[in-house]
Amino acid sequence: MTLAPHETSPASHPRHADGDSLRIALLTYRGKPHCGGQGVYTAQLSRALVELGHHVEVFSGQPYPDLDGRVALWRLPSLDIFNDHFPGRRPAFWEIKTLADRLEVWATRLGMFSEPLAFSVRAWQELRRRADDFDLVHDNQSLGYGLWGIQRAGLPLIATIHHPITVDRRLEMAQAKTRQERFGKKRWYSFTRMQTRVAQRLPRVLTVSASSQTDICRDHRVPPDRMAVVPVGVDPVVFQPVPEVLRRDAMLVTTASADVAMKGMAYLLEALALLRVDGRKVELTIIGRPRADSPTLERIRLMDLGDAVRFVSDLSEAEIVSLYAEATVAVVPSLYEGFSLPAIEAMSCAVPLVTTTGGALPEVVGADGEAALLVPPGDAAALAGGVRRILDDPELGRRLGQGGRRRVLGNWSWRHTAERTVEQYRTLLATHGERTAA
């Protein structure tokens, strides 16, 4: 299951080869394309950076991203233990060859999530021999101990933390029903202690919203003066209304990791059941894939919603846009979001939106009634009420859709994200130079 590194553009570029052009190593321990914040962020930011004239090489763990042809991709080998299609695979003894492999297997056998640590070690082992090829390294939330080795190699290091995973940990622990389940969750999320230690030693941290910045300062104890808010973007040319596609009468759409407590899927299913009790033939399309032992699938069965819910996954951007064009309402039922790419993608497609007030969502969608109807997190009746208002008032839905599109065009693009990210790169390089000179 391991793959040799593969590169799609020349590797050897001396530092500062072209005045204002930067040589950037972008790290992502998971590069899942099209959905999942890390993969989308990696693909879109790297493309926008290249369009600004910078050279970018992405170092990724599995699943690997789909990148612009101008972006170099290094597929770092891994044991791929958490493969989406074969989760929990047991590597054969002959696959375990390196320190990172041994760490990955050892931690997994103890019930821990090992990917961030193992990936960071593999990235360090690759970058220490290529330190002269890059001006800086940008980590996309692995926050593994291997980053300390990258710093010791003399490379300026910056990281994006979309939100602290400690939030996920708290929500999962709160929903655990037994002592054994709580113990398992605590062990699984033990990697967050590593992420806190690593984050505290970073010279510069980016995050995507003011809400996330507050949470990172609190949970990881990163000083605010070492942080900057750089919101993510959306491509409004790709994610745009498609008037020729006929909207269905009562179709809800949501993009979510179906089995992650933070995403609030249980409350959306309960809201769907409430709407169907009203006699409404509402259907829900979930862009995502449930686990084989998914509690979401069990809920669907127990609530007799099998004929009302469908899952779709591995979609292209064009297929996602087409689903949004068909949808009557998009729903973001999350208990917490550090930003929410699904929200701004739906808004960009002018889909009426119902969302909770969890985390940064009010920061993203604006005031209630501007681009979305806002409801409290964890309140199925309120979710159902928001959807019901839009189903009963097509003019309200039209106004929300137009407001969402207008808000996206006025606030977010990947070019803007890249420009602000480069500003932070230059701040990092200036302070790194001052420390080196001292």
- Compute the radius of gyration of the chain from its Cα atoms: 22
The model's pLDDT over 66-108, given as tens digits with 9 standing for 90+, comes to 899 999 999 998 766 666 655 666 766 667 777 877 888 887 8
Alpha-carbon torsion 401, 267, 339, 50, what sign? negative
Give dist(CA 60, CA 45) in Å, integer: 14
Cβ atoms of 339 and 332 closer than 8 Å: no
Domains and CATH numbers, the chain: 23-233+414-437 (3.40.50.2000), 251-411 (3.40.50.2000)
CA angle (249 as vertex; 238, 266 as ends), nearest 5: 80
Lowest mean pLDDT of 99-108, 131-140, 269-278, 369-378, name the range: 99-108
The model's pLDDT over 226-246, given as tens digits with 9 standing for 90+, comes to 999 999 999 999 999 998 888
Give dist(CA 121, CA 11) in Å, integer: 20
Token digits of residue 142: 């692995």
User: What does the pLDDT read at residue 354?
Assistant: 98
The model's pLDDT over 329-352, given as tens digits with 9 standing for 90+, comes to 999 999 999 999 999 999 999 999
**Maximum CA extent, the chain:** 72
Q: Is the model's pTM score more than 0.75?
A: yes
The model's pLDDT over 97-123, given as tens digits with 9 standing for 90+, comes to 778 778 888 878 778 888 899 999 999
Side chain identity at residue 29, one-letter code: Y
Task: Give kind and range of the element (H or E) at residue 300.
Answer: helix 295-302
Helix axis angle for 414-437 and 37-51, nearest 10°, is 80
Nearest Cα to Cα of residue 96 among 80, 116, 115: 80
